């Protein structure tokens, strides 16, 4: 009797346990994740990893830019509040964290690629080349913000299979990173001319490569234009000067092999096809739009700066009505950075100041994420020709750049979903010509090389405005042009805009051994190696 019950009990227990055995294996993996991926999917994953800093998103503008690069480039009116020249930790952390997450995705792509057979690697080489070009574009921005950063050994946690001690990354010198990128991009610019891409890969890339949709020519243009930008950036550094001259000359000598972004159709940018997709500027419309909200910040962050507005007014810039909206008096007025704080606050509250145009820019959900545009490339060429003593080509490039920039802003307005600012009066060739001949713009009106360089810089500055803030700040630091003046701040560590961002405390704290190597130079006053003027 007793035995029977025991047997029943034991059988019951055994029955219960055996039926759960399989369950343990089933319940281990997260049902919302996958355990493996492909080059193609990881490629798109990598490209999309930093979209928050390519598209015009709330966090980047509200937390990162409105208190740092935008006021320091005077592309917006700056209220003289205490501590305005010290970048906030939230800004630094956000940008840093996103870049290294993005970098880790790149490493993961490379790790996957390295597991392929040589044949497969050859077939998928295009993914690695194009991904690397995109990666270098954003690495350049990081170096321009911070200087020395962990780079060549960074992001290897996955590659090292979770060995975090081994994965603590050393810092690379900013100049070394530039050298490596320039070397590789030069190699790519040749390799892209010889690489064969299968029809199948082209079809897949049409979808997965949401930047250039598998168009190899556009990737060549991106690659060469990026080289031009980087070479120009280091053109003042003596150790780079040899390659700067020869490499730009080599590119210009053979435009078929080394095409550049020279027309607005060539512009390398992330297009918004539909705001409801994953590539967008947010989905909120009107005053709630991400870009608008982020730029406005605590209120008034979208107000124009006086220097830019005065320049555009004085020279009848056709972009004025496209880029800005007038204040309540129907005039275009910028905020004077030299006024005291309360006077500025009253002016901003008063409503007379001009703001960035909501319909063209801030409430336009279709503004493309700008990577490199033709106007910008033309300004770099103008500078190159100017320094090479070829005034005619310099002038042509300069004026091309202006026309392209004007066309771009009028075009952006045509793709807008917003009409808050009312209809935009179209521009015309004659209006553009008047502008090109105006006293502040005219190439002929600039009598010295320095003044010509200043005009190029002003145009680059207006063209970049709030859309390309990192490039804008870098160029202003490199050229010290346009010459902007700032009211000094007596309340904090920096009395004027800094020369770089300091490193985030995440590095000081968690990568402290490697940080020691750069700690002495981790100051707001340290200049990036190309900042030699």
Partner 1 sequence: MKRKSIRLLLCMFLGMWSTFAFSQAKRTITGYVKDNTGNPIPGVTIKVHGTKSGVASDGTGKFTIQAAPSDELQLSSIGFQSKQIQVGDQSSLNIVLENSNSSLEGVVVTALGVKQQKRSLGYATTTVSSDEITKTAPTNFASALYGKVPGMKIATAPGGSTSGVSIQLRGLNSITGRTQPLIVMDGVPIHDGDFNNSNYWSDQRLRGNGLVDLNPDDIESITVLKGASAAALYGSEATNGVILITTKSGKGKKGFTVDFSSTYFQDRVAYLPDFQNVRGSGFNPGYGIYATDADGFAHHTLNGTDYRTLATAGLSFGPVFDGKPILSWDGKVRPYSAQKDNWAALFQHANNTVNNLALTSISDNSNTRFSVTQQHYEGTSLGSKNDKIVLNLNTTYKFGTKFRINIIANDIWQKVHNRPYSDDRLINNFTGMMGAFDNGAWYQDKYKTSLGYKYVTGSNPSLTPDENLTFGPYRSDLLDYMWNVKTSNLDEYNNRLIASTTAYWDIVKNVQLRGRIATDWTSDKSESKNASSIPLVYGYSGSYGIGTNNYSILYGDLLLTYSKRLTDDLELKVLGGYTADKESSYTTNVSTNGGLTTENRFDLSSSANPQYNSSSNRSFLTKDAFIGTINGSYKNYLFLEGTVRRDRTSTMNPSQNSFVYPSVNSSFVLSDVVKMPAFINSTKLRASWGIVGNYPGAYLANVAYSLGNLGNLGSGSSTLTSTVATGTYGNDLIRPEKKHEIEFGLVAGLFNNRLNLDVAYYNAKIVDQILPLQLAQSTGAGNILTNIGTLQNNGVDLSINGTPVATKNFTWETGVNFNFNHNKILKLTNGSNELIKADYDGNAAVLKSTVGQPIGDFYAHPIKTDSKGQPIVNDYGDGTLDYQIDATQLVKYGNVQPKAIGGFYNRFEYKSFGLEVYTDFRFGGYVMPTGLNWLTGRGLTKESLTGMDKAHGGLSYYLDSKGYGVQTDAAAGPNGEKVYDDGMLLKGNLPDGTPNTHVESQAIYYWYVYNWGGPQYSNSQYFKYIVKNSYWKVREISLSYNLPEKIASKIKASRLQVSVFGRNLFYLYRTIKNMDAEQLTTGLSWDSQVSNAGTNFTTRTFGASIRATF
Beta bridge mates, 305: 335
Residue 18 as a binder of partner 1 (CB under 8 A): the answer is: no
Closest CA to 39 of 98, 99, 151, 122: 122
> Which of these segments, 132-140, 230-238, 258-266, 350-358, binds partner 1 (CB under 8 A)?
350-358
305 phi and psi, to 5 degrees?
-85, 150
Phi/psi zone of residue 389: left (φ > 0), alpha (ψ -120 to 50 degrees), beta? left
CA distance 516 to 335: 42
Q: Are 156 and 167 in contact, with CB atoms under 8 Å apart?
A: yes
Under the binding rule (CB under 8 A), the answer on residue 325 touching partner 1 is: no
Pattern of binders to partner 1 over 42-71, x per CB under 8 A? Answer: x-xxx-xx----------------------
Does residue 284 interact with partner 1 by CB under 8 A?
yes
Interface residue with partner 1 among 493, 517, 525, 532 (CB under 8 A) is: 493
Tokens encoding 58: 């709330």
Structure tokens at 444: 């002929």
Pick between residue 187 and residue 492 the one whose CB is nearest to partner 1: 492
CB atoms near residue 515 (< 10 Å): 18
Which range, of 128-136, 185-193, 385-393, 498-506, touches partner 1 by CB under 8 A? 498-506
Query: Which of 167-175, 247-255, 258-266, 317-325 is the region at the interface with partner 1 (rule: CB under 8 A)?
Result: 167-175
CA–CA gap between residue 257 and residue 228 (Å, rounded): 15
Told to check if 417 binds partner 1 by CB under 8 A, we report no
Of the pair 106, 240, the CB lying nearest partner 1 is at 106
- As beta bridge partners, residue 215 has none
Among candidate residues 345, 405, 343, the one with its CA nearest the CA of residue 370: 405
Q: Are 454 and 480 in contact (CB under 8 A)?
A: no
Considering the complex, state which of residue 169 and residue 402 has its C-beta at the smaller distance from partner 1: 169
Nearer to partner 1, 173 or 388 (CB): 173
Using the rule CB under 8 A, is 167 a contact of partner 1?
yes
487 binds partner 1 (CB under 8 A): no
Is 207 near partner 1 (CB under 8 A)? yes
- Tell me the site size for partner 1, rule CB under 8 A: 115
Confirm or reject binding of residue 313 to partner 1 (CB under 8 A): no
Crossing angle for the helix pair 469-479 and 449-464, nearest 10 degrees? 160
The helix (H) or strand (E) run that includes residue 318 is none
For partner 1, give the closer residue by CB, 79 or 412: 79
Closer Cβ to partner 1, 412 or 502, answer by number: 502
Under the binding rule (CB under 8 A), the answer on residue 104 touching partner 1 is yes
Contact call for residue 331 and partner 1 (CB under 8 A): no
CA-based radius of gyration for the chain = 26
Is 158 among the residues that bind partner 1 (CB under 8 A)?
A: yes
7 near partner 1 (CB under 8 A): no
Residue 448 as a binder of partner 1 (CB under 8 A): the answer is no
Are 89 and 504 contacting, i.e. CB atoms less than 8 angstroms apart?
yes
CB of 40 to partner 1, least distance (A): 8
Q: Segment 136-155, which members bind partner 1 (CB under 8 A)?
A: 149-150, 154-155
In sequence order, which ranges of 162-299 are alpha helices (DSSP H)? Answer: 174-194, 199-208, 216-233, 238-253, 290-296
Subset of 251-280 contacting partner 1 (CB under 8 A): 271, 273-279
């Amino acid at each position: 009797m007793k035995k029977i019950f025991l047997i029943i009990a034991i059988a019951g227990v055994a029955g219960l346990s055996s039926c759960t055995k399989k369950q343990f294996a089933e319940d281990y993996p997260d049902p919302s994740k996958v355990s493996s991926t492909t080059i193609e999917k990881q490629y798109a994953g990598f490209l999309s990893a930093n979209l928050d800093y390519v598209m015009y998103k709330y966090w980047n503008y509200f937390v990162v830019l409105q208190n740092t690069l935008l006021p320091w480039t005077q592309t917006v009116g700056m209220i003289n509040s205490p501590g305005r020249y010290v970048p906030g930790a939230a800004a630094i952390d956000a940008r840093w964290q996103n870049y290294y997450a993005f970098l880790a995705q790149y490493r993961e792509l490379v790790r996957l690629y390295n597991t392929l057979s040589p044949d497969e690697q050859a077939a998928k080489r295009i993914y690695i080349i194009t991904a690397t070009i995109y990666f270098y574009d954003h690495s350049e921005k990081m170096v321009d913000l911070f200087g020395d950063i962990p780079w060549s050994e960074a992001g290897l946690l996955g590659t090292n299979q979770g060995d975090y001690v081994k994965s603590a990354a050393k810092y690379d010198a900013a100049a070394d990173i530039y050298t490596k990128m320039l070397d590789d991009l030069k190699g790519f610019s040749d390799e892209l001319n010889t690489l064969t891409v299968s029809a199948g890969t082209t079809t897949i890339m049409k979808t997965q490569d949401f930047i250039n949709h598998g168009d190899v020519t556009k990737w060549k243009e991106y690659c060469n234009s990026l080289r031009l930008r980087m070479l120009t950036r280091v053109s003042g550094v003596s150790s780079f000067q040899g390659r700067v001259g020869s490499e730009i000359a080599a590119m210009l000598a053979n435009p078929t092999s080394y095409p550049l972004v020279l027309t607005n159709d060539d512009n390398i940018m992330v297009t918004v096809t539909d705001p409801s997709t994953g590539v967008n500027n947010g989905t909120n419309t009107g005053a709630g739009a991400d870009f608008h909200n982020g730029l406005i910040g605590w209120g008034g962050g979208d107000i124009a700066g006086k220097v830019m507005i005065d320049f555009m007014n004085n020279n009848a810039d056709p972009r004025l009505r496209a880029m800005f909206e007038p204040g309540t008096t129907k005039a275009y007025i910028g905020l004077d950075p030299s006024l005291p704080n309360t006077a500025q606050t009253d002016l901003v509250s008063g409503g007379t100041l001009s703001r960035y145009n909501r319909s063209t820019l801030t409430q336009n959900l279709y503004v493309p994420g700008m990577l490199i545009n033709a106007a910008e490339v033309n300004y770099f060429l103008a500078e190159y020709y100017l320094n090479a003593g070829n005034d005619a080509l310099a002038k042509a490039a300069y004026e091309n750049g202006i026309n392209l920039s004007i066309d771009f802003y009028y075009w952006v307005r045509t793709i807008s979903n917003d009409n808050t600012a009312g209809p935009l009066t179209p521009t015309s060739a004659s209006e553009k010509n008047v502008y090109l001949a105006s006293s502040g713009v005219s190439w002929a009106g600039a009598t010295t090389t320095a003044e010509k360089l200043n005009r190029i810089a002003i145009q680059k500055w207006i063209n970049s405005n709030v859309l390309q803030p990192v490039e804008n700040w870098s160029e202003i630091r490199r050229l010290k042009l346009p010459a902007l003046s700032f009211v000094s701040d007596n309340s904090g560590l920096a009395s004027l805009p800094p020369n770089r961002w300091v490193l985030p405390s995440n590095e000081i704290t968690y990568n402290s051994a490697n940080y020691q190597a750069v700690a002495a130079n981790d100051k707001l006053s340290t200049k990036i190696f190309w900042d030699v003027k």
